[in-house]
Amino acid sequence: MTDDLIARLSADLKPVRPMAMQRLLFGATLVSTLVAIVAMNMWLGMRPDLDTAMSTMNFWTKFGYTLSVAVLGGVATMALARPDGRIRWPWIAALGLLALLVIGAFIQLATAGPDDMMPLIIGGTSLVCPWRIVVLGLPMLLASIIALRRMAPANPTLAGFAAGIMAGGAGAWVYSFACAENGMMFLALWYTLGILIVGVLGAVLGRFLLRW
């Protein structure tokens, strides 16, 4: 029986390219990012003041925070997709980034006038912002879960969570071109909430879909 299996498997052998796993995940993220960008343009459109925003610190803070979280989530996903994969530093780094952001947010609030406080925290879109991030993160979440199904995560739930954080970060990054909020506290609260929702979604999907 086992000999039959070995014969069948070796007859089925196809070469595996070096870095095949990285290529697969990278391809999945690239395609899904493009899908999210197109979806964002058709659904929400770029923020009208993009040209002036690009010269502000707040725009680049959003840009940097979301992209860094996406990359850290991607690094974690890549490690956790292996049966012998363990990794902790991306989580610590992401929490460190969030801590820096919160410190920056308090400095921004301290220097702002009392009338500017609420717009910097709640803004005008805090109720829709997390959900838009979830929607824009879904393409990458689904693509990476599909890719991960061919891999061997030792902990499917955790691997799904990592993929969710990556997808949430990417969705938030795409959304940052459409969102006209300028508050760092807004970013720290509502963007982070949106990213976490995608992360939890990934953990649930991972638990059921990434078992092997």
Give the separation between CA 126 and CA 149, rounded to whole angstroms.
Answer: 34
Q: Which residues of 128-142 are buried (b: 16+ CB within 10 A; e: fewer)?
A: ebbebbbbbbbbbbb
Q: Which is nearer to other proteins, 5 or 42 (CB)?
A: 5
**Least distance to other proteins, CB of residue 1, Å:** 7
Q: Which is nearer to other proteins, 89 or 106 (CB)?
A: 89
**Least distance to other proteins, CB of residue 12, Å:** 7
Residue 76 · residue 90 · CB < 8 Å? yes
**Least distance to other proteins, CB of residue 82, Å:** 5
Q: Which is nearer to other proteins, 12 or 51 (CB)?
A: 12
Q: Which is nearer to other proteins, 3 or 115 (CB)?
A: 3
**Least distance to other proteins, CB of residue 91, Å:** 21
What region, left, alpha or beta, does residue 19 occupy, with left being phi > 0 and alpha being psi -120 to 50 degrees? left
In the complex, the residues that contact other proteins under the rule CB under 8 A are 1-3, 5-7, 9-16, 18, 20-21, 24, 81-84, 150-152, 154, 211-212
**Least distance to other proteins, CB of residue 4, Å:** 10
Give the separation between CA 75 and CA 90, rounded to whole angstroms.
Answer: 7
Residue 191 · residue 62 · CB < 8 Å? yes
82: which DSSP letter?
S
The helix or strand, by DSSP H or E, that contains position 37, with its residue range, turns out to be helix 20-43
Q: Which is nearer to other proteins, 6 or 127 (CB)?
A: 6
Give the separation between CA 64 and CA 137, rounded to whole angstroms.
Answer: 17
Locus of tokens 């070995």: 6
Q: Which is nearer to other proteins, 20 or 128 (CB)?
A: 20
Give the separation between CA 63 and CA 76, rounded to whole angstroms.
Answer: 20
**Least distance to other proteins, CB of residue 94, Å:** 23
